[in-house]
Structure 1
Amino acid sequence: MVKPLFKPLFKAVTYSRWLHLLIASVAGVLTGFLRDGSFHPGGGRPWLWFAVLPVPFLLLAALVPAVRRIEGVQAQLLLVTGPHDPGEQPTSGIGTSTSASWRDRGRTAAWLLLRLEAGVAVTALTVQLPMLAAAFMSAATGHPAHFNNLPAIEAPHWWYALLAPLPLVLLFVVAIGTGSLMAAAARLLLGPSAAERLAELEARTERLLEHNRLAQELHDSIGHALSVAVIQAGAARAAESPEFTDRALAAIEDTGRQALTDLERALRLLREDAPRPADRPALTEAERLLESARAAGSAVRAELGGPLEALPGPVSREAYRMLQEALTNVLRHAGPVPVSVRIAADADALELEVRNPLPTGTAGTPRTDAQGRGGRGLRGIRERAALLGGEADTGPEGGEWRVRARLPLRQLGARQTLG
C-alpha cells in the first residue's frame, strides 16, 4: 500500500517533467528582468508578473510553424515515459510536425500559455515551499524566522519541527500531479491533428500493401525457381546423360541466381532506410522465363506482338510476374508439357494468355479452392490484374488449362506512349 505512493519518487520521468515545468518559467523571468532590470518587477508580486508579461510574446511565437515542432520534441523528451523508462511503451501520442493550419497554431498557443502558467506556479512553489520548511526548522530550534515573502515566525517552538516535512511533501505531490497533467495536455494540444492522423494511416496502409506485394513477388519468384530446380533435378537423374545433366544444372543455376536477386531486392525494400531499387524485371525479359520453361523440358511456343518495351512500367512489371506464375503453375502441376504463350500489346490493352494441355485425371490440375478459383498463385494473378484495372480468368477450356489476362492501357496514358 505504501510502496506505490513512493514509486514516482524513484522514476526519472518525474524529475524530467519537473524540469520541463521549471524551464517554462524562464520566459517569465527574462521578460520581468527586461521590463524593470531586476528579477523582482512590480514590487512584492514577482510571480504574478512572470505569469502575465510573456503572454503577448508567446501568442506571437505560436504563429511560427516551427514552434510546434520544437515544443513537440521537447515534450517527447521530457514528458513521456519511453525515453526514461525502457521497460514501458515509448509511444507518446505527441506530434513533432510543424503547424499546418490555423487550428494547429491555436492549439500551439493554448499549449504555450498552459505551460507558462503551470511552469510559473510550480517554480514559485519550488522556491517558496523549501524556504517555508527551512523557516519551520529554524523556529523549531528556537530562532525567529524571517524569510522573504513568507510570514515571520516571532515565537519559535519545538513543535514547528512537526510541520517542517509538510511543505516538501506538498511540493512533491504538486510536481508529480502537475507533470502528469502536462503530459496529458501535451497529447491533447500537441498530438497529431485529424489530417496528420489520416496521412499516417494512409502511409501505414501503403506500407502494408507494399509488404503484401513483396510477399506475392517472392512467392512467384521463389516458387518458380524451386519448381524449375525440382523438375530439372528429377529429369537429370532419370536421363542419366552427362550432357543433359549439365544443361539441367545450368538452368537451375540461372533460375536460382534470379531468385536470389529478387530475394535481395525484397529485403532491401523491407528496410525503411534503403532506397527503392529500380531493377524489378519487366515483360521485355519474358524470353528468360520462356527459356527457363524450355530448359525444364516444356516445349514452349511463344507469340509476342506489339512494342513491349514501350509499356508503362507498372503494367510491364506486373505482367512479367503474371507470366512467371502461369509458367510456374504449368511446371508444378502438369510437368514438362507443351505450353502456348501469347502476348499482344496495342494502344488499348495488353493481353496475356498461357495454355497447356490438361494431364489425364485430376492429379495434375492446379489446386483449386472451394469455388474452383485456384490456389494462391492464380489468385495473385487475378489480384494483380484487378489492381491495374484489368481482369484475369483461369480454368480448364477445351481440354487445356488456360490463364488469360487483359490489362487496359488507356487510363495509364499508354496511347501516347505506344502510338
Structure 2
Amino acid sequence: MSSSLSTVFRPLSRAVTYTRWLHQLIASVAGTLAGFVHGGTFRSTGMEVWLWIAVLPVPVLLAAALIPAVRRVEGLQAQLLLTPGPHGPEERAGTGISTTPSLSWRDRGRTAGWLLLRLAVGVPVSALTVQLPVLSFAFLQAAAGHRTHFRGLPAIDAPHGWYALLVPLPLVVLLTVAVSAGSLMAAAAGLLLGPSAAERLAVLETRTERILEHNRLAQELHDSIGHALTVTVLQAGAARAAGSPEFTDRALAAVEETGRQALTDLERALRLLREDVPHPAARPVLADAERLLESARAAGSTVRAELSGPLAALPGPVSREGYRMVQEALTNVLRHAGPVPVSVRIAADADALELEVRNPMPASPAPVAVGRGLRGLRERAVLLGGKAVAGPDEDGEWRVHARLPLARLR
C-alpha cells in the first residue's frame, strides 16, 4: 500500500513535473497576445475564450516555423524545461533534442508540427489550471453553505456540507492532466525536435574523426615513448656494464636528450587532447631525422645513414608520418636485436618518399609477431596512399621498407 502511494505521489516531489507544467502554460502566451490584438476575444464567455486562444495564433506559429532560429529556441526551451537533471553540455547532448537551426524544409515542417502540438496541449492545460482550482474553491464555499456562481462554471444553488468531499477532486484531475501532458510533450520533443538525418550524420562524422585522432595520438605515444624507453634502458645497461666514467657521462647525456624529447612529444599529445588549447606544439619531421640517428648511435648501434632529396620540402603529413615510421623501425631494432649495425636510407624525389631500415637478424631470432608498432607503421603508410613491408630478406637481414607517393600531394 505504501509503495503504491509512493508511486502516485512521486511526481509531486520532482522538479521536472513543475518545469514541464510551466512549459505547457507558456504555450498559451501566443494565443493570449493574439487575443489582445483581436478585439473582443476576452468579452466572450465560458470556453469560447480558450477556443479563440487556441485558434488565433495558428497562422503566426506556421510563419514562425519558417524561421531557422525558431527551432533552436524551441530546442533549448525543451531541453531546459522538459528533461530532468543537470543541463551541462554533455547532459543536453544526451536528451535527444536538437538545438540547431532548421537546415531543411523537413526541419521546418517538424518545427511547425511541434509548435501546433504545444498550442493544442498547452491551451487545454492552461484552461484547466485556471478553472479547476476555482471549481475546488466553489465546492469549498458550497460546503460552507454559500451559493456560488463563478464565470465559466455551473452555479451551485443548493449548498451542502457534502460538497467538501469534492474539494480535492479537481486538484487531483489537474495534477494528473499536467503530469500526463508533460510526459507526452517530453516524448514528442524527441520526435519533432530530435536531430535530423543530416545532423546525425554530422555527429557521427565528428565522433569518427575524434576516434581516429585519438588512435593516431595513441600510436604516436607508442612510437615516441617506446623509442625513448628502449634507448634509455639500453643506455643504462651499457653504462653499468662499461664501468667507464667517460662512457657513463655520454650515456647520461643521451638519456637526458631522449627523455627531454619524449616529454616534448607527451606534452604535445596532451595539448591535443585538451580542447581548450588551439595551437599544439609542432610535430617532428624528417628534417629532424638526424636526432633519431644520434639517439640510436648513443644506444650503442652503428648507424650508416643515407639521406637524399629535398627532405625539408616534403608535404607536412608525409614528413611527419615518415619521421614516426623511421622512429618505430629503429625502436624495433634496439628492442629486438640490441645495439647492432643499422642501415638507414631516406630518399625523396618528385614522385615518392622511400624509407628503408635494415639490420642483422639475431642469432636465435624469436618468432615473428606483428605487434602494435609494425601494424601502426603499415597503417600510416596506407593512410598516405603508400605501402610498408617488414620482414627478413634474402640476405638474412631484417628489412623495413616503405614507399609513400608524393605526386598527388603537391
Residue 244 of structure 2 corresponds to residue 241 of structure 1: yes
Partner of 1:410: 407
Going from structure 1 to structure 2, the CA distance change for 1:134 and 1:84 (only over 3 Å counts) comes to farther
Tell me the equivalent position of 2:368: 368
CA distance in 1, matches of 2:62, 2:234: 74
TM-score (norm 2): 0.95
Partner in structure 2 of residue 377 of structure 1: 373
Partners of 2:41 and 2:312 in 1: how far apart? 76
TM (norm. structure 1) is 0.93
Question: SS of the counterpart of 1:159?
Answer: helix
> Residues 224 and 325 of structure 1 are in contact (CA less than 8 Å); yes or no, is this contact kept in structure 2?
yes
Q: State the match for 2:280 in structure 1.
A: 277
RMSD across aligned positions (CA): 1.6
Q: Which amino acid aligns with 2:339?
A: P
Secondary structure class of the residue paired with 2:356: strand
For 2:396, the equivalent position in structure 1 comes to: 399
How many Å separate the matches in 1 of 2:323 and 2:66? Answer: 52
Unaligned runs of 5+ residues in structure 1 are 415-419
Which letter maps to 1:287? E
Question: 2:195 corresponds to which residue?
Answer: 192
Task: For residue 40 of structure 1, give the secondary structure of its aligned residue in structure 2.
Answer: helix
Q: Deviations over 1:38-81 (max 9, x none)?
A: 77154541111111111111111111111111110110000011
CA distance in 2, matches of 1:260, 1:292: 15
1:74–1:223 distance in 2 versus 1, CA, 3 Å: same
Matches within 5 A, 1:324-335: 324-335=327-338
SS in 2 for 1:301: strand
Contact 1:300 / 1:341 at 8 angstroms: preserved in 2? yes
- Counterpart of 2:146 (choices 143, 148, 151) is 143
Distance 2:44 2:384 in 1: 72
How far 1:225 moved relative to its partner?
0.3
Q: 1:386 aligns with which of 378, 382, 385?
A: 382
The aligned residue for residue 307 of structure 1 is 310
- In structure 1, what is the Cα distance between the partners aligned to 2:343 and 2:87? 65
Do the aligned residues in 2 keep the contact of 1:13 with 1:84 (CA within 8 Å)? no
Structure 1 residues 253 and 166: alpha-carbon distance in aligned structure 2, compared to 1, 3 A threshold: same
Matches within 5 A, 1:15-414: 15-36=18-39, 40=42, 42-44=44-46, 45-83=48-86, 91-363=94-366, 368-369=368-369, 374-397=370-393, 398-412=395-409, 414=410
CA distance in 2, matches of 1:344, 1:324: 16
Aligned-partner Cα distance in 1 for 2:264–2:43 = 72
Number of positions where the alignment pairs a residue of Structure 1 with one of Structure 2:
403
Q: How far apart in 2 are the matches of 1:48 and 1:409?
A: 72
User: What one-letter code is carried by the residue in structure 1 that aligns with 2:372?
Assistant: R
